[in-house]
Amino acid sequence: MATNLSPTKNPIPEQEPNVRNKNFDEVALGYTVELALDEANRCLQCRRPQCVTGCPVNVKIPDFIKLITQQDFKGAYHKILEDSSLPAICGRVCPQENQCESKCVRGIKGEPVGIGRLERFVADWVMQNADEMPEKPERNGHRVAVVGSGPAGLACASDLAKLGYDVTVFEHLHKAGGVLAYGIPEFRLPKALVQKEIDKLTALGVTIQCDATVGKALLIDELLSNDPDVGGYEAVFIGSGAGLPVFQNIPGLNYCGVFSANEFLTRINLMKAYDERYDTPLMPISKVCVVGAGNVAMDAARCAKRLGAEVTVVYRRGEKEIPARKEEYEHAKEEDIIFKLLTNPVEILADENGWVRGIRCIEMELGEPDARGRRRPVEKPGSEFEMECDAVIMALGTSPNPLLRKATPDMEYTEKGGIVADEHGVTTKPGVFAGGDAVTGAATVIKAMGAGKEAAAAIDRYIMKK
């Protein structure tokens, strides 16, 4: 079956590190048809494909890869669409090495099949060669409201619209997309792609209402009421994400020059501070220290690099524990970002006017494993040192935003502030469904998308039963 027995993946063409760390254009350029065919031929078409079990939404991976080998790229695309709504996006940002590719049998001896790269290839090929806007399906006369336009909300709206529902998405920001718009940078996920997905939703008849804050301008109960202006929805899906930045409790956090990664990335991605034509100010930065080593930290570090700064990532555990996608970590290293591992900040230092001038850190070593089996870092006594910098970016995670919670007290929440919902997105409040980061806390695009799809099906069952 497999005609390509090479133990390694076809590399994906990329911009040179020393070129790309100065621009915001996409880093990975994508497979050509030849590379895609060659890579697709590495797939063994397993009878019990393990890759599928590793995919949070169980995309029929061998089936779409087979269609690629038959050069039916459009067919491959539609095969993916049976389970996923956003292939062009997931092909770029999914942590495949922990999901499908981690399970691929070819990975036992050598590298797994480049499933993510193939997914991206078919999505891009279709977009360039056979793109068509979906037709507006016939309406079924039922209305559903969606809160938040991140991957969870978009996926839920899309599936419901395809079933004929009249869907309105309410988004607080002036642009739709959630983290895809404000968090993940252009060089990893071109915003034109996100816009394309949103245009497709609009073509399906979904109304996207930006500048609409649920919990402030409108309440969930009002959406579910008979209010002639804002009511009339039979169900509400909440996909409000986990946008609240977590700050570490060390002295000096409020000095000028300390940012949450969310603030830094929002200024750049949503407010386009790197683009001359935009008014968004950004302080000039020459030496930046990023705290944390997740995807968010990598994105912040790589953005800072592109703005001309010397960037050091400080992380309290070791290389093996880095939570970012491997590809992002590799890319960051190639782009000359310095990693100080097993190092923890203890204090941010400022000059007499309250502007950051450095950061005091302490070296760590790995001790006993914790409950999750990760070795707990412990401080090395007497190893404190100072590092000069003019900006500190805190990328230590986010938690669900309390705004909607405060306005909707009659629903159950977890201790951490997440909405309590079952695997179909059913919450404790009748008619209200939820999914994505708002339920799970910060997770992944594919999981949020999957939750949105699951909830769409549940909402359909709920309304049809009424």
Partner 1 sequence: MPFQIVKKEQLSDNMFRVTFHAPLVARRAQPGQFLMFRVDEFGERMPITISYFDREKGDVTVIMQRVGSTTALLASMNEGDYVADVVGPLGNPAEFDNMHKVIVVGGGSGCAIAWPQAKGAFDRGCHVDIVAGFRTKGIVVLEDEMRACCKNLYMMTDDGSYGEKGFTTVKLKELLEKAKAEGEQYDTCICIGPLPMMKFVCQITKEYGVHTMVDMNCIMIDGSGMCGGCRLTVDGQRKFTCVDGPEFDGHLVDFDEAIARSKIYEKQEARVFQRRHHCTLQELADREEAARKAAKEGK
Q: Report the interface residues with partner 1, using CB under 8 A.
A: 172-174, 182, 209-213, 216-218, 229-230, 243-245, 247, 253-257, 259-260, 262-263, 266-267, 271, 277-283, 353-355, 401-403
Give the residue with the Cβ less far from ligand FAD, 281 or 373: 281
* Binding partner of residue 153 among partner 1, ligand SF4, ligand FAD, none, CB cut-off 5 to 8 Å per kind: ligand FAD
Cβ-contact 280, 267 below 8 angstroms? yes
* Binding partner of residue 217 among ligand FAD, ligand SF4, partner 1, none, CB cut-off 5 to 8 Å per kind: partner 1
Establish if 183 lies at the interface with ligand FAD (CB under 6 A).
Answer: yes
Cβ-contact 180, 89 below 8 angstroms? yes
CA distance 146 to 456: 10
Give the residue with the Cβ less far from ligand SF4, 111 or 334: 111
Q: Which helix (H) or strand (E) holds 375?
A: strand 375-379
Sequence-ordered list of residues with C-beta below 8 angstroms from that of 360, at least 6 positions apart, any chain? 345, 346, 347, 348, 349, 384, 385, 386, 387
What are the structure tokens assigned to 269, written together?
């991605």
Cβ-contact 328, 433 below 8 angstroms? no
Q: Which of residues 113-142 bind ligand SF4 (CB under 6 A)?
A: 113, 115
* Residue 52 C-beta: closest distance to ligand SF4, Å: 7
Q: Which of residues 416-445 bind ligand FAD (CB under 6 A)?
A: 436-438, 442-445
Establish if 294 lies at the interface with ligand SF4 (CB under 6 A).
Answer: no
Q: Candidates 61, 146, 167, 419: give the one binding ligand SF4 (CB under 6 A).
A: 61
Q: Candidates 62, 112, 178, 205: give the one binding ligand FAD (CB under 6 A).
A: 178
DSSP H helical ranges for 70-219: 73-81, 87-93, 100-103, 115-129, 151-162, 179-182, 191-203
Q: Candidates 21, 39, 55, 62: give the one binding ligand SF4 (CB under 6 A).
A: 62
**CA distances (Å), origin 213, targets 148, 262, 303, 419, 449:** 9, 19, 29, 18, 21
Rounded to 5 degrees, what angle do the CA atoms 73, 106, 85 make?
40
Establish if 411 lies at the interface with ligand SF4 (CB under 6 A).
Answer: no
CA distance 289 to 305: 11
Name the residues that contact ligand FAD, by CB under 6 A. Answer: 93-95, 147-153, 170-173, 178-179, 183-184, 213-215, 239-241, 243, 265, 295-296, 299, 325, 401, 403-404, 436-438, 442-446, 448
Name the residues that contact ligand SF4, by CB under 6 A. Answer: 43-46, 49-51, 61-62, 104-106, 112-113, 115
